[in-house]
Amino acid sequence: MKDEKKATRQSYGEALLELGKENENVVVLDADLAEATKTGIFAKEFTNRFFDMGISEQDMISTAAGLSTCGKIPYASTFAVFAAGRAYDQIRNSVAYPNLNVKICATHSGITVGEDGATHQMLEDIALMRTMPNMKVMSTSDDTQTKWAVKEISKIKGPVYLRLSRLNTPIIYDENQKFEFGKAIQIGEGTDACIFATGVTVSEAIKAKEELEKQNINIRVVDFHTIKPIDKEIIIKNAKETKRLISIEDHNVIGGLGSAIAEVLTEKYPAKLERMGINDCFGKSGKAEELMKYFKIDKQAIINKILEKWKEWLYGKKEKNIYYSCSNMHNIAMFYWNIFFS
């Protein structure tokens, strides 16, 4: 993992420009936020293929749906809270239901939006989008992966929801990294535990992995850039190989990555999963890093969770019962000692 950092929204804008040069059918729509979503990078080069719809997210999605029926590949962008929230009806009925080729690329997701506060911190979008028929859902973790994803979804027929962030995060992968839609990436071979992560939490999980190795605790991290369709094979593989599973996400623990993994485990390979994320509440205003610490989705929170669960994982309930049995035997012994030798 490199020291260099970049927000995935910036990577999105840069990748759009390159894609626009490669494919003249790509058009971009925004809802008065081109500077923030970085679609303005595309707009400067392709003024006749960029449509600023104003503060009208529902209109933007409906227009994107119409453009897709004319052979265009529309990328519709705004903040996640407006894309998945305000325009939900249009996405459901005008895009997903007719299975149109629209790419919804939502920036400023999760609590890492920061100071904008709870009204702008979208914590339910993965849940909303992955329960929608025909919709595919992606959540990228770094610059390299995002640039791949932006181009990759242009080849996928049908609607895609791509979740992007505002926070500058470390560049994890080099340019030679191979990605495959629907296939998660395993980082490390540690068998003590497995951390399933997505988006901004992937780099936090990797940092936790590196710190824990200093304590002779060897874990692995699995990066889910695709949440729907979920990679069932890698979930089952890691459940069998580690048996100690944690998921972490900048999203409500209900309906997000953790829920998607739990559904697979319940049906295919029953195993206990500890879910880390936003515990069914709204966000708060503050700096992104401070909020990650407050909501316990940063590196230290992962380390604390691993250490907290360590004895339970090592010894289980059986060890606890043995402890209590030994304790009772000690008490009985002391009782008779006092009777006969006091």
34, 65 Cβ separation under 8 angstroms: no
CB 279 within 8 A of CB 258: no
The helix (H) or strand (E) run that includes residue 59 is: helix 57-68
Amino acid present at 252: N
Whole-number Å distance between alpha carbons of 277 and 204: 13
- Work out whether strand 136-139 and strand 160-163 pair parallel, antiparallel, or are unpaired: parallel
How many CB atoms neighbour CB 330 within 10 A? 10
Which among 205, 203, 219 has a CA at the least distance from the CA of 141? Answer: 203
Pairwise CA distance, residues 242 & 225, whole Å: 21
Distance between CA atoms of residues 53 and 38, nearest Å:
15
Element (H, E) at 137: strand 136-139
How big is the CA angle at 129 (ends 227 and 160), to the nearest 5 degrees? 70
Calculate helix-pair angle for 299-341, 201-213, nearest 10 degrees. 50
Domains contained in the chain, CATH given? 5-170 (3.40.50.970), 185-309 (3.40.50.920)
pLDDT of residue 317: 54
> Which pair of tokens denotes residue 169?
């995060």
Three-state DSSP state, 324: helix
* pLDDT for res 340: 46
Residue 3: the pLDDT is 83
Q: What is the pLDDT of residue 312?
A: 78
State the residue for tokens 């936790």.
208
Residues of the chain with pLDDT under 70: 315-342
Residues 306/193, Cβ–Cβ less than 8 Å: yes
Q: How many degrees, rounded to 5, is the angle at CA 113 between CA 112 and CA 116?
A: 135
Told to judge if 57 belongs to the known catalytic residues of this protein, a careful annotator would answer yes
Of 14, 22, 57, 290, which one is the catalytic site residue? Answer: 57
196, 274 in Cβ contact below 8 A? Answer: no
Query: What distances in angstroms separate CA 130 from CA 127, 153, 203, one per listed residue?
Result: 6, 16, 23
pLDDT per residue as tens digits for the range 67-101: 999 999 999 999 999 999 999 999 999 999 999 99
**Treating both helix axes as pointing N-terminal to C-terminal, what angle do 257-268 and 232-241 enclose, rounded to 10 degrees?**
70
The whole model's pTM is what?
A: 0.91
For residue 242, what are the CA distances in angstroms to 194, 195, 273, 300, 308?
6, 10, 12, 21, 17
What is the structure's pLDDT at 316?
66
Q: At a CB cut-off of 8 Å and minimum separation 6, what does 114 contact?
A: 166, 167, 285, 286, 287, 288, 291
